[in-house]
Amino acid sequence: MLDLFADEAPWEEPLAEGAIILRRFAREDAAALMAGVHEVSQQAPFRHMVTPGGHTMSVAMTNCGALGWSTNQNGYLYSPQDSLTGQRWPQIPSLFKDLCARASLAAGYADFEPDACLINRYAAGTKLSLHQDKDEPNLRQPIVSVSLGLPAVFQFGGLQRSDSLQRVMLEHGDVVVWGGASRLFYHGILPLKPGFHPLTDQFRYNLTFRRAS
């Protein structure tokens, strides 16, 4: 697939107060980031988690870091142990940490040190419904979200689910960082359209870095 923007330099696109899209920010590191994703998933396989209400999520997920995001019959939680393997989650690869540090600094959030990285894998038709990232105890810390592979439409709203939504296309290598006034804004991903990407095949991968302790 011909990439007409392969040589285009990264640029910043404001999204809301405290939120910004760093376009193309992760492109140069994309192949190494995907190698890290495959290394993590060999130790902690992708799985479709089941919500407390019994709904199987369409997006496949895994984690790396001291804590991993998960679900059970009681709700959503962070745990040091992968319930699927019985082992601790793999460590966050050093390249992941380096990219996250550079992105958070570029967005105005210095000294962000994540201890959790949720990795989502989207296939055609899969989506992520509108939600808030509110399971973290320290909501002063930002969210750093890295897109790899197929493009997807990102929805970014407000503090209420009913607030109006911005819809922006996120492409390979884009990084979204949000915190401060927009830390609890509702967000989601519309159903992924079929396609092919030379690095990720028929999938989109998303790395979401958080401070969960």
The pairing of beta strand 19-23 with beta strand 204-210: unpaired
Tell me: is residue 187 an annotated ligand-binding position: yes
Tell me: is residue 63 an annotated ligand-binding position: no
Tell me: is residue 121 an annotated ligand-binding position: yes
Tell me: is residue 207 an annotated ligand-binding position: yes
Tell me: is residue 186 an annotated ligand-binding position: no
Tell me: is residue 23 an annotated ligand-binding position: no
Tell me: is residue 131 an annotated ligand-binding position: yes
Tell me: is residue 69 an annotated ligand-binding position: yes
Tell me: is residue 208 an annotated ligand-binding position: yes
Strands (E), the chain: 11-16, 19-23, 60-65, 68-72, 75-79, 116-122, 128-131, 143-149, 152-156, 166-170, 175-178, 187-189, 204-210
> What's the rounded Cα separation, in Å, for the pair 25 and 171?
11
Give CA angle at 98 (33, 105), nearest 5°: 125
Tell me: is residue 76 an annotated ligand-binding position: yes
Tell me: is residue 74 an annotated ligand-binding position: no
**Longest CA span, the chain:** 48
Query: Within a 10 A sphere around the Cβ of 66, how many other Cβ atoms?
Result: 15
The pairing of beta strand 60-65 with beta strand 116-122: antiparallel
Tell me: is residue 133 an annotated ligand-binding position: yes
Tell me: is residue 2 an annotated ligand-binding position: no
Tell me: is residue 183 an annotated ligand-binding position: no
Tell me: is residue 210 an annotated ligand-binding position: yes
Tell me: is residue 122 an annotated ligand-binding position: yes
Tell me: is residue 204 an annotated ligand-binding position: yes
Measure Cα distances from 21 to 11, 55, 71, 160 in Å.
8, 31, 29, 21
Binding positions are 69, 76-78, 120-122, 131, 133, 135, 161, 187, 204-210
Annotated binding-site members for 2-oxoglutarate: 120-122, 204-210
Give the residue numbers of the binding site for Fe cation: 131, 133, 187
Which residues carry a binding-site annotation for substrate? 69, 76-78, 135, 161
